[in-house]
Chains A and B, each alone.
Chain A
Amino acid sequence: MTFIELDYLFVFLPLVVIGYYLLRGTIWANVLILAASYYFYGATTPWYLIPLIVTSLIDFLVGIRLSKTERQGARRAWLILSLTANLGLLGFFKYTPWLIGEINSGLASAGVGYALPVLAVVLPPGISFYTFQTMSYTIEVYRREMAAARNLVDYMAFVTFWPHLVAGPIMRARNLLRQLETLRPVIEPDEFRYALALIAWGLFKKLALADNFGAIVESADSVVQAHIPVPGLGLGLLFAYAFAGQIYCDFSAYTDIARGSAKLIGVDLVRNFQTPYFSTSPGEFWRRWHISLSSWLRDYLYIPLGGNRHGRWLEYRNLMITMTLGGLWHGAGALFVLWGIYHGAMLVFYRLVPIDRYLTRWLGRFGKWLSILLTFHIVCFGWILFRAHTDTILPLLRSMKFWRSQAPSELTYYYSRGIAILGTVVAITDYLGYRRDIEFVELFRRWNPYLVAGIATACYFGITIFARREAAQFIYFQF
C-alpha cells in the first residue's frame, strides 16, 4: 500500500485514526499501530515482512542483552552481532546481486568461462531505512544514550511505524520509541488541521508536481537512449533541472504525507527538508536535504570516524568516506558510488575554497544569490549521476552543452516550458518558507485556517487536473 492510493487515504488512514483514538489510553494502541503497519507494508507481498520481523527481533533481543551486561567486551560483541545482522541483511538483498553481476561481467570480459550463480532476489522496499533505524537503536543503547525497550510491541511498533517505514524520515529510537511508549495527550485541533494540510500539500506535490517533472525526465531519458539528436537548450541540462524538481517534490511529498499521517495520531516525525535548493554551499545543502539521513551519517559514521577533530586531511578523508557510503546506501551501482564521491569532493572543495563566503563578501546580497545558483547547479550535476544509467550517462553529459545550440526543437521547448511552470510553483512556495527560515508547510500552522482550506481546495483541483493518469511510485521506495 502507498500513500497515494485511495484505499490508504479513504479507508486505511481513517480506520486507523478512529481505532487509535478509541484505544488511545490503553496498551492496545500500539498493537493497533503494529497490526496496521504490518498490513500497510505486507498486504501485497507478505514475505517482505520476514526480513523486517527478523531484524526487529534481533535488535530487540540485543537491546535487552546490552541492558543486562556491564562487561565492555560482551557489550561490544552484542553490538557487532546487531550491526552484522543488519548490514548482512542489507548486503544480501541490496548489494549481493549487484556484486555478483559485476564479478560475472568482469569474468566474462576477462575471458573466463565461469560465472557465479545469479541471485534473483527482490529488494524489500524501505530495507535501507529500517535497518539504519534499528541500528541506531542498538548503537544508542550501547552508548547508554537511552534505555533498552522492555516491551516488544512498543519496540516493533517503533520499527514498523507505517508512516515512515518505507522511505523515512529515519527516526532515532530515543525520539520515536519514547513517543510510542507514552500514552499521548489528545491532539489539539490546530495540530489536527495542520496534519490534514500536510497530507493535502504532500499529495499535490507528488501527483501534480513530481510526476509531471518525472514525465519530462522519462521523455528526455528515452530521447537520449534512442540517440535522437535534439538541438536547442542542452537536453542533459533540462534533464537535470527536471529531475531536481522531481526528486525534491517526490521525496518531500512523501515526508509531508508521512508527517501528516503520524501527526493525526499525535506522533511527531522529524523534518527531512528545509528549502534545500536555497543552499549557498554543498555543506548547507546537506544540512537542508534528507536531514534525517545526513544527521544519521554524521552521528554514526562521520563523527565516529573522527569528524573534524584530527586535523584537516583526516576531516577530508572522513567526509569522502561518509559521502561515498552515503551514495552506496542509496543504491547498489557504480553511479550511486560516483554520486557520493562527487558530493564528498564538493564538500572538501568548499572547505578548501569557500566560494560562497567569497561571493557574499565581494558581492553582498547578489553574491549570496549567485552562491545559491552555483550550488543548485552543482547539485543538479550530481542528480545526473544519480538518475542516469551507465549506458546513458555519457550521452547525457555530452548533451548538457547549449552554447553551440541550433534553433531549439519543439521537444526542448516543451521541456523548458514545463520545467519553468512547475519550477515556478516550487520556487515561490519554497521562497515563502526560506525567507522565514522554515519549510513552506510550516506556514500552514501560522496562516488563517480558511486560507489553508483554500490552499487545500486548490491542491485538490491541481491533482484532478494535472495529475498523470497513473501515478508513479515514490522514487525513494527503491532504496
Chain B
Amino acid sequence: MRVQLRTSAWFRRVLLPILFALSVGGAIELAIELRFHPGFWQRSTHLLYDPYRGEPFDRSELVTRLRNVENSEPDIISVGDSSGFFSLQPAIINRYLDGWKYVDLNTGGTHAYDGYYAIAEYMLRRSHHIKYVVLYIFPLYLPQPCFFAGADLGRILMGDLLSFKAALLPPSAFLSPYLKLWLFQGRHFHRSDPFGGSEPDLQLPATVAAAQGWLPEYDGRIDVTGKQLSFCSDKRPGLLPRLGLAEQSSTVAYLEDFDRMVRSYGARLVIAFAPLPTKSIIPKDPNFPAADGALARFQRERPDVKFLFPLLMFWGPEKFGYFNHVSREYTFLPSERLAEGLGRLIRHPETIPPYATEAPDRGAPYPRKPVTPTGAADPKLLDAALALFRYATTTDDADWQLVSSRVQHLLQADPAFNDMMTDVKTRMVSLAKQGITIGMDMSQLEATPVTVSDPSFCDTRPGVEWVQIKGSMIFTYSSPTFNARTPVSWIVVLMPTIVEDGVRKFDGYCPEPSMATAKNAAP
C-alpha cells in the first residue's frame, strides 16, 4: 500500500509533468518540421548568426561550398588546407579525368585536421560514388601538434558535421537566425542573404556551383624570398605515446586514422603535397627527417595509399602570393599538376611510385632581394607589372597585350593555361548574366621602378626591369543588390617587366621544369 502511494506520487508529481513538457515541446517541434521542413544546414550550428559580429569566412565558405556540391555525386574529392582551396580548379582538372568528377573541398589551416576528416566523412556518407579522397596539403602543414594548435575550427566542424548532436539538432534550431536578428537588431533574416559583406563572401555564392568549390585567391601578398620555414616536431602528445604504448608519430597516427575511415566507406586515400617556393625550407631542418621518415613508414604500412608527388616540389617564388598560396594567375599550374597525377591514378595506378625518403634542397635561402629605387612611382608601371594577374581575372585583352611575347608564347603553349582562361571567360559570362561585376581597384597601390638582383629569375636578358608594388589591392564586387570593396594589404611585391616595342610589359613567368617532367612521366 505504502509502495503504491509512493509510486503514485512519483507518477503524478514527476512523471506526468515531464510527459506534459515533452508532449508540448514535441508538438511544437513537429509543427515547425511540418511547416518549414528545415534541412541539415538550416538546423546546423556551424554558422554563428551572432548579432554582434559578422560570420567568419572560414565558416561560411564551407557551408556555401558543401551545400552546393554535396549532392553533385563526385568521384574524387580533395580536402586539406588553403593551398588547395585557392589553387585547384575543378574546371581544369576534370578535363583530364576521362569523365570522372572532381570537386575541391580544401578549406584552410583553421580546420586542420579534424575538419578535413569531418568534411571527407560527411561527403563519403552522402555520396557512394566517391572512389578517392585526396588529402591535398602544404608540405609544412603535416598533421603535427604545432599545426593543430591554431586549428580551432577543426574539432568544432567535426562536432557540427558528424556528432550525435549534429544528428539530433531539433527543427526549432532553424528559427535561430530569424528570431535573433529580429529581436536583437530589429531586422528580418533572409535565407538568400550572403553571410558577409566582403568580396569573397559575395563572389563565392555566385560562382561556387560552376567552380565546384574553387575560389580565386584574394589574399595579401608578401615577398616569399629571403625567408624560410621549418617543419614541426612529429612527436605525438599524450602519456601513452610518451610511454611507447601508442603510436609515437603524430603524422602516422593521424594518417592511419584517416585512411581507416576512408576505407570503411570503400574509397581510397590519396595524398598530394602542394608545391612550395624554392629555397623556402631551412637547411638541415632537424624536424625534416622525422616527418619524412614518418611518411615513408606510413607508406610501408599502407602500400595502397598513393602519394601522387614527393613531399617537396619547389617552384619559382614568383608563383606564390604567400608561401602556401599559388597566386591567382598561376592556378592552372597546380591544377594541371594534380590533374596529371589523378589521371595517372585512374588509368595506371601501378605506375605511381611509392613514397620515398628524400632530401630537401640544401643551402641557404635566396638572399633578400636588395631593392634600390630608380625612379618615381608611376601608375603605368602598375598596369604592366600586374598585367597577367588582371588578365587572369578579367580576361580583358588590353591586359594580355601588356604581357611580354616571351611569356605569351610560353603560356599559350600550355593547354592548362588555356583551360584556365576558358574557365575565366565562362565565369565572367555567368556573372554578367547575374548582373555581377568583379574587379580590382588599384588606386591604393604604388609601383616604383627598382633595381633588383634576383638569382632565381629565369629571364636573364639585359632589358629586364623590376617594379616594386606596395599598398592595398581593393577587390571589388557589384551587383544589383550588393556592393563590396575589400582592401587587402600587399606588403611587397616585386615583378619583372621588359620593354617591347616601346611598351613596358609583364615578364614575370618562368616555366617549371618539374611540370615538364611530370608530363613526360605520365604514360
A58–B49 Cα distance when bound, in Å, is 49
Any A CB within 8 A of the CB of B18: yes
**A369 within 8 Å of B by Cβ?**
no
Determine whether B520 belongs to the interface, using a CB cutoff of 8 Å to chain A: no
Chain A residues whose CB sits within 8 angstroms of the CB of B9 once the complex forms:
189
| Proximity string of chain B (29-67) to chain A, C-beta cutoff 8 Å, 1 when within and 0 when not | 000000000000000011111111100000000000000
Stretch at the interface among A24-32, A106-114, A319-327, A413-421: A413-421
Task: Please give, as numbers and ranges, the residues of chain B lying within 8 Å of A215 by CB-CB distance.
Answer: 50-53
Nearest CB in chain B: distance from A458 CB, A:
9
B interface residue count range (under 10 / 10 to 19 / 20 to 34 / 35 or more): 35 or more
Assess whether A190 is interfacial by the CB under 8 Å rule.
yes
* Known A6-B164, A464-B170, A464-B172; contact A469-B47, beta-carbon cutoff 8 A: yes
A465 x B184 contact (CB < 8 A): no
Alpha-carbon gap, A101 to B257, bound state (A): 42
Do B164 and A449 have beta carbons less than 8 Å apart? Answer: no
**Known A215-B53, A414-B52; contact A449-B184, beta-carbon cutoff 8 A:** no
Q: Which has the most chain B C-beta neighbours within 10 Å: A192, A452, A456?
A: A456
A193, CB-defined interface residue at 8 Å: yes
What is the interface of chain B mostly: helix, strand, loop, or mixed? helix
Q: How far is the CA of A417 from the CA of B187 in the complex (A)?
A: 12
CB of B21 within 8 A of CB of A457, answer yes
Give the shortest distance, in Å, between B249 (CB) and chain A (any CB): 23
| Contact of A189 (CB < 8 Å), options: B10, B180, B184, B239 | B10
- A216 at interface, CB cutoff 8 A: yes
A454 x B186 contact (CB < 8 A)? no
Distance in Å: Cβ of A160 to nearest Cβ of chain B: 21
Q: From A449, which residue of chain B is reached at the shortest CB distance?
A: B17
Q: Which residue of A lies closest to B172 (CB)?
A: A464
Tell me if A443 counts as interface (CB < 8 A to partner B). no
Residues of B within 8 A of A92 (CB): none
Q: Is there a chain A Cβ closer than 8 Å to B25's Cβ?
A: yes
Closest residue to B160 on the A side, CB-wise?
A469
> Which single member of B24, B53, B165, B180 contacts A457 (CB below 8 Å)?
B24
Option from B45, B52, B180, B183 in Cβ contact (under 8 Å) with A219? B52
Are A469 and B49 interface neighbours, CB within 8 A?
yes
Which residues of B have CB within 8 Å of A464? 170, 172-173, 176
Q: Does A466 contact B (CB under 8 A)?
A: yes
Q: Does A470 contact B (CB under 8 A)?
A: yes
Measured CB to CB, the closest approach of chain B to A468, in angstroms, equals 7
Alpha-carbon gap, A455 to B48, bound state (A): 26
Q: What is the distance, in angstroms, from B233's C-beta to the closest C-beta of chain A?
A: 17
Q: Is B185 an interface residue (CB 8 A)?
A: yes
Q: Which of A179-203 contact B (CB under 8 A)?
A: 189-190, 192-193, 196
Whether A466 contacts B164 by the Cβ 8 Å rule is no
Partner of A456, one of B14, B21, B176: B21
> Within the complex, what minimum Cβ distance (angstroms) separates A63 from chain B?
32
Chain A residue nearest in CB terms to B169: A464
B179 (CB) vs chain A CBs: closest residue: A465
Instruction: Bin the interface of chain A by size.
Output: 20 to 34
* Least distance between A90 CB and chain B CB atoms (Å): 26
> Are the CB atoms of B156 and A470 closer together than 8 Å?
yes
For residue A190, which residues in chain B have a CB less than 8 angstroms away from its CB? 13
- A450 at the B interface (CB under 8 A): yes
- Residues on A with C-beta less than 8 A from B180 are 465-466
Q: Are B52 and A454 in contact (CB under 8 A)?
A: no
Chain A residues positioned under 8 Å from B17 (CB to CB):
193, 449-450, 452-453
CB distance from A94 to the nearest CB of B (A): 24
Cross-chain contact A461 with B48 (CB below 8 angstroms):
no
In A438-479, the 8 Å CB interface with B consists of 449-450, 452-454, 456-457, 460-461, 464-466, 468-470
Contact pattern, B 4-22, Cβ under 8 Å of A = 1, otherwise 0: 0000011011101110110
Q: What does the 1/0 interface line of B131-158 toward A look like (CB < 8 Å)? A: 0000000000000000000000000100
Find chain A residues with CB under 8 A from B21 CB.
453-454, 456-457, 460
- From 408 to 430 in chain A, residues with beta carbon under 8 angstroms from any chain B beta carbon are 414-415, 417-418, 421
Which residues of the other chain, A, contact B53 by a CB distance below 8 angstroms?
A: 215, 218-219, 222
Chain A nearest Cβ from B56, distance in angstroms: 11
Q: Is B28 an interface residue (CB 8 A)?
A: yes
Chain A residues with Cβ under 8 A from B46's Cβ? 469
Query: Are B50's CB and A468's CB within 8 A?
Result: yes
A196–B15 Cα gap in the complex (Å)? 12
A394, chain B: closest CB distance, angstroms: 23
Closest to A188 in B: B9
Shortest B475–chain A CB gap in Å is 22
Q: How far is the CB of B190 from chain A (nearest CB, A)?
A: 18
Contact (Cβ within 8 A) A189 B48? no
* Complex: A1 Cα to B20 Cα, angstroms: 30
- For residue B175, CB closer than 8 A to chain A, the reply is yes
Contacts of B24 in A (CB 8 A): 453-454, 457
Q: Which of B17, B49, B156, B186 has the most CB of A within 10 A?
A: B17
- A contact residues around B52 at 8 Å (CB): 215-216, 218-219, 414-415, 418
Kindly identify which residue among B13, B176, B184 contacts A421, using a CB–CB cutoff of 8 Å: B184
Please name all residues of chain A whose beta carbon is closer than 8 Å to the beta carbon of B156 when the two chains form the complex.
470
Query: What A residues does B25 contact at CB under 8 A?
Result: 457, 460-461
Residues of A within 8 A of B50 (CB): 215, 468-469
Closest CB in chain B relative to A381 CB, distance in Å? 23
Could you tell me the distance between the alpha carbons of A464 and B42 in the complex, rounded to whole angstroms?
A: 13
- Cα–Cα, bound, A452→B17 (Å): 8
Cα of A418 to Cα of B53 in the assembled complex, Å: 13
B48 partner residues in chain A, CB cutoff 8 A: 468-470
**A449 surroundings in chain B (CB, below 8 A):** 13-14, 16-17
Choice from A222, A452, A456, A465 contacting B172 with Cβ under 8 Å: A465
Least Cβ–Cβ distance between B123 and chain A, in angstroms: 22
Q: Is the CB of B14 within 8 A of A192?
A: yes
The residues of B that contact A415 with a CB separation of less than 8 Å are 52
Of all chain B residues, the one with the shortest Cβ separation from A10 is B164
In the bound complex, CA of A456 to CA of B13 (Å) = 15
With A and B bound together, what is the CA distance between A445 and B21 in angstroms? 17
A465 touches B173 (CB 8 A): yes
1/0 contact string of A276-316 vs chain B (CB within 8 Å): 00000000000000000000000000000000000000000
- CB nearest to A411 among chain B residues: B52
Instruction: Give min CB distance, B296 to chain A, whole Å.
Output: 33
Contacts of A218 in B (CB 8 A): 52-53
Q: Which of A190, A215, A464 has the most CB of B within 10 A?
A: A464
CA distance A465 to B179 in the complex (A): 8
Q: Which residues of B contact A453 (CB under 8 A)?
A: 17-18, 20-21, 24
Q: Mark A208-222, 1 if CB is under 8 A from B, else 0.
A: 000010011011001
A43-56, CB under 8 A of B: which get 1 and which 0? 00010000000000
Assess the A6–B165 pair: CB atoms within 8 A: yes
Asked if residues B28 and A461 are in contact (CB atoms below 8 Å), the reply is yes
Q: Are A189 and B28 in contact (CB under 8 A)?
A: no
B404 smallest CB distance to A (angstroms): 44
17 cross-chain CB contacts under 8 A: A189-B12, A193-B13, A193-B14, A193-B17, A196-B18, A212-B184, A414-B51, A414-B185, A417-B185, A449-B13, A449-B16, A453-B24, A454-B20, A460-B25, A465-B175, A466-B179, A469-B47
Q: 3 closest pairs, A vs B, by CB?
A: A219-B52, A453-B17, A453-B21
9 new A-B contacts, CB < 8 A, other than A215-B52, A414-B185, are A190-B13, A218-B52, A418-B184, A457-B25, A457-B28, A464-B170, A464-B172, A466-B180, A469-B49
